[in-house]
Structure 1
Amino acid sequence: MQTSPQIASLFYGYLGSDGVWQAQHVGWVDASNLAGGAAAGCVLAGVGTLPAAGLMLFDIGVDAYVIVRRIFYQWVYGRGLYINELMAKKFSLLGCVGMLITVTLQSRERRKSTPGLLNQAEERSARVSLALLFGRLMMSVLFLYVGLSELHRLLFQPYTPYLPGDGHDVVWPKAVELLLAVPFTLGFKMEAVTKLLAASLVLEAFYAWSWWRMSGDPNAFSQHRRAIHYREHFMTNVATAGGLLLLVKLGGGRYTVDELVKKKD
């Protein structure tokens, strides 16, 4: 709501209308974001969870499309292949909402299932495992890409484009998440690794992206814009941690190293 000049103007006095990210705002993208926010509220309240989660998935898909389109055009116009940390986090949310839908469907199917229908149970198990694999790979994009690119920037580039003390320059979360990314991607020691990743993301959110502790004039354009950016990082971190906890509940599924080890035993 704050980043859309048209919507912010409707709430003049309550929302700042100067925190606009793009010079040209796209109406249908703003509408998708508003619908996604309303859907998240429905999921939180437990009202129409499945259709609301589907709408959230559509909204995140719209964000992913906008990001990929921007990356593509920057590359086409010779500005290089630029993917930042927040872009990668958006892709991880696709996996999180995908797992939320999986949990909801699995719960419904269990309530409807009839004892003795083993073939149907096998088919459901295969579908759930594929959904879990998709979710895990989407989140792996975040941990692997951000870990490698950001650590390379912090360790080997002499200058930072950010202000002193900026959350982008905090090293330890990226190092921890990169260290855990490989076993997470492979599905090795899933429960322990997933819990550690969730804890790391929440700690990073409060340590690096606590927008309410930012110093400076909150009414300044640059500070207002920076606060919106920090808040988006914070919320995305917490949401991804929630998706990881869903993965703990569901387990890794068939397509993991843990499952292969079990079969050999």
Structure 2
Amino acid sequence: MTRPADSLIIFIARLALAILFLWGGAMKLLGYAGFVGYLHAHNVPYAQFTAPVAVTIELLGGLAIVFGVRTRFVAFMLAVYAIVTAILGHDFWNVTQAALQQDAVVHFWKNVAIAGGFLLLTVTGAGRASIDGLRAPRGGFGG
């Protein structure tokens, strides 16, 4: 049972997390060839397959989080995705130039923090300001 203020804060958190994925997915789609090249440069296996999967996860996952659809499941999947992309895309342990390594370290830990936010959303759910919240049964007496 969430209070209205809690639901508003959860909604704001959902938007904050989703914006990054919606923006990233859109930019990957608009610069698709460059994104595939980036995947190849980072030795991501099956880049031709993983590129459309990544774009789809980011765009559909971001939309699902904004609207609060199957939030617990989607948030958990995006937490896993954030960790996988941290390991594959921000592998600072393989970077030799100091400035580039520092940038990769920051991006790696940002992904870990984002995963943490999604894990919290996995536990809290979407709140009432969501499609999930509209579908949830309401108890009697103010429920």
Distance 1:212 1:255 in 2: 41
Assess if the C-alpha contact under 8 Å between 1:177 and 1:200 holds in 2.
Answer: no
Instruction: Give the match for residue 260 of structure 1.
Output: 134
Pairing 1:203–2:79 present: no
**Paired residue total:** 132
Corresponding residue for residue 173 of structure 1: 54
Corresponding position of 2:11? 133
What does the per-residue CA deviation read over 1:216-259, in whole Å, with 9 as the maximum and x for residues that have no partner? xx3xxxx2111111111110001000011111121211101011
Matches within 5 A, 1:41-60: none
Which residue of 1 is the match for residue 23 of structure 2?
145
What is the Cα-based RMSD across aligned positions, in Å? Answer: 2.9
Identity, in percent, stands at 28
Letter in 2 for 1:200: Y
Amino acid at match of 1:242: G
Report deviation, 1:262.
Answer: 2.6
For residue 231 of structure 1, the aligned residue among 101, 105, 119 is 105
**Higher normalized contact order (CA 8 Å, seq sep 6+, divided by chain length):** 2
Contact 2:42–2:88, Cα closer than 8 Å, also in 1: no
Amino acid of the residue matched to residue 145 of structure 1?
Answer: W
With the length of structure 1 as denominator, give the TM-score of the two structures: 0.44
> 1:263, CA displacement in angstroms?
5.1
- Structure 2, unpaired ranges of 5+: 139-143
TM-score, with length taken from structure 2:
0.79
- Distance, in Å, in 2 between the alignment partners of 1:144 and 1:239 is 17
Uncovered stretches (5+) of structure 1, i.e. residues with no partner: 1-121
